[in-house]
Amino acid sequence: MKLLVLGGTRFLGRQIVEAALARGDDVTLFTRGRLPVPWMGDPRVTALVGDRDPRVAPGLSALERGQWDAVIDCSGYVPRVVEASVRLLAARVARYVFVSSMSVYAKTDRPNLDETTAVATLADPHTEAVLEHYGALKAACEAVVDRLLGARATQVRPGLIVGPFDGTDRFGYWVARFMHPQLLGDRPARAVVPGPRERPVQFIDARDLAQWMVDLAARDVEGTFNACSAAWQFRMGDLVDALVAAAPAPPRPTWIEDEELVARGVAPWVGLPLWLPPTEPDSAGFMTMDCSRAQRAGLVIRPLADTLRDTAAWLRERDNTGAWKQVLTADAERAILA
C-alpha cells in the first residue's frame, strides 16, 4: 500500500509510520519539518515539508502531485485547514482515515456512549480556538471529511492515547510515580492514588491504535469508530496492581477518596491524571465509552504490562526536563498522606 501520513514524527504519527513500514508499505510523510525524520535514508519513506494551513507558506504545495491508496490524517484540528487538504487530495486517494477524538461528543455524562451519540457543535462556526473548542472543532472536521468524501471517509475517535513518545505525561505520570519515582523528585514512600479501586479507566496504546488504523486503510474500511480499550476492561486497581508488579521497589499505594482530594484542591485529570471525580458530572462517562464496533473491526489491545514496560523504558531514556509541571507536587502529596 502507498500511504500518506499527515504528520508523522511525534507520537501517534510516528507509530503509524512504524506500523506501515512493518507491513512493507511505502510511506509519504507531510510535516512542517520542525523535527528530525527518524527514517531518513529508508527508501520506503518520502518526507515532504509544508504547512497544513494553506495561508502559511509554503502551504500544501508539496502535496499537489502524487497518488496514494490511503491517507491517515493525524494532524487535523481546524475545519478550514482540513477542508483544504481533503479538496486537494480527494481525486488522488482512495481512503481517507481521519483521527478524531472521543471529545467530539456533546455530553459524556453517562457510560457506554457509542458512535451514534450526538456530537458537539460550534456556536461560532468560524472559530479556530483549538484549546477552547477542541471537541466541537474535531466534530466539525469529521463533517468536512464526510461531506467531501462520503463512503471513502473513515472516522476514528480515540480516547486517551498512551505509550512510548507520549509527550502529554498523563499516563506517564503513573508509570514514573511507581516505576521511576526519582524522575518526579523527592517523593514519599507512599503514593496517593484516587479511590476507589473499582474506578474505570480507559486508554489505548498508540501502537495498537496505529496498527489497527493502517489495517483499516489497507482493507478500505469505512465507518466511524470509538477506539480505546473496552469499557470496564481496566479499573484503577488493575493499573496500580500492574505498576506495583512491574516496579523493582514501588511506593506503597495509598487510596484516597474523591472527597478528600477535592477538599485538598487537587485538579481533576491534571493534578492526578486519569482522575475524574463526581464533581465533574459532565465527564462521568468519559472513561467507559463503548468501543465494541472497533473491536469487531479488528482492534486488539495489548497486555497492560507491555505498555507499562515500554513506557517506563522510554521515560528512563528521554530528557525529562520540564515534565510533570502541573501534576500533584511532592509537598502536596505529603500533605495529603499526613
Q: Both 194 and 328 in a single domain?
A: yes
Q: For position 8, what pLDDT does the model report?
A: 86
Quote the domain boundaries for residue 33.
2-161+204-227
Instruction: Name the burial class of residue 46, with classes exposed (0-12), middle (13-18) and buried (19+) by CB atoms within 10 angstroms of its CB.
Output: middle
pLDDT, tens digit, for every residue of 78-96?
999 999 999 999 999 999 9
Cα distance between residue 149 and residue 139, in whole Å = 15
CATH code of the domain in which 37 resides = 3.40.50.720
Q: Both 257 and 282 in a single domain?
A: yes
Q: Both 192 and 119 in a single domain?
A: no
Q: Which of 184, 212, 227 is the last residue of a domain?
A: 227
**Residue 76: which of 11, 158, 138 has the closest Cα?**
138
Q: Both 117 and 180 in a single domain?
A: no
Q: Both 103 and 192 in a single domain?
A: no
Q: What is the mean pLDDT of residues 151-175?
A: 97
Residue 239 pLDDT > 90: yes
Q: Let me know if residue 264 belongs to a domain.
A: yes
pLDDT confidence bin for 235, thresholds 50/70/90: very high
Q: Which of 181, 212, 227 is the last residue of a domain?
A: 227
Q: What is the mean pLDDT of residues 310-336?
A: 95
Q: Both 149 and 183 in a single domain?
A: no
Instruction: Name the burial class of residue 300, with classes exposed (0-12), middle (13-18) and buried (19+) by CB atoms within 10 angstroms of its CB.
Output: exposed
Q: Both 261 and 157 in a single domain?
A: no
Q: What is the mean pLDDT of residues 152-159?
A: 98
Give start and end residues of each alpha helix (H) in 48-169: 79-89, 134-149
Q: Both 117 and 34 in a single domain?
A: yes
Cα distance between residue 237 and residue 195, in whole Å = 9
Q: What is the mean pLDDT of residues 282-307?
A: 96
Q: What is the mean pLDDT of residues 29-35?
A: 94
Q: Let me know if residue 291 belongs to a domain.
A: no
pLDDT confidence bin for 249, thresholds 50/70/90: very high
Q: What average pLDDT does the structure give for the chain?
A: 96
Q: What is the largest CA-CA distance in the chain?
A: 64
Instruction: Name the burial class of residue 319, with classes exposed (0-12), middle (13-18) and buried (19+) by CB atoms within 10 angstroms of its CB.
Output: exposed
Say if CB 288 and CB 235 are below 8 A apart.
no
Q: Let me know if residue 68 belongs to a domain.
A: yes
Instruction: Name the burial class of residue 230, with classes exposed (0-12), middle (13-18) and buried (19+) by CB atoms within 10 angstroms of its CB.
Output: middle
Q: Let me know if residue 111 belongs to a domain.
A: yes
pTM of the model: 0.97
Residue 106 pLDDT > 90: yes
Grid cell for residue 223: 465507518
Residue 137 pLDDT > 90: yes
Q: What is the mean pLDDT of residues 55-83?
A: 98
Give start and end residues of each alpha helix (H) in 151-235: 170-179, 206-219
Q: For position 33, what pLDDT does the model report?
A: 92
Domains identified in the chain, total number: 2
Q: Both 46 and 133 in a single domain?
A: yes
Q: How far is CA 52 from CA 88, 124, 139, 148, 156, in A?
A: 11, 22, 18, 17, 20
Cα distance between residue 104 and residue 296, in whole Å = 22
Say if CB 165 and CB 13 are below 8 A apart.
no
Residue 258 pLDDT > 90: yes
Q: Both 132 and 217 in a single domain?
A: yes
Q: Let me know if residue 183 belongs to a domain.
A: yes
Q: Both 53 and 175 in a single domain?
A: no
**Residue 103: which of 286, 335, 304, 323 has the closest Cα?**
286
Which distant-in-sequence residues (6+ apart) come within 8 Å of 169 by Cβ?
A: 273, 323, 324, 327
Say if CB 189 and CB 132 are below 8 A apart.
no
Q: Let me know if residue 218 belongs to a domain.
A: yes
Q: Both 263 and 326 in a single domain?
A: yes
Identity of the amino acid at 318: R
Q: For position 282, what pLDDT does the model report?
A: 87
Q: Let me know if residue 298 belongs to a domain.
A: no
DSSP state of 230: P
Q: Let me know if residue 213 belongs to a domain.
A: yes
Q: For position 284, what pLDDT does the model report?
A: 85
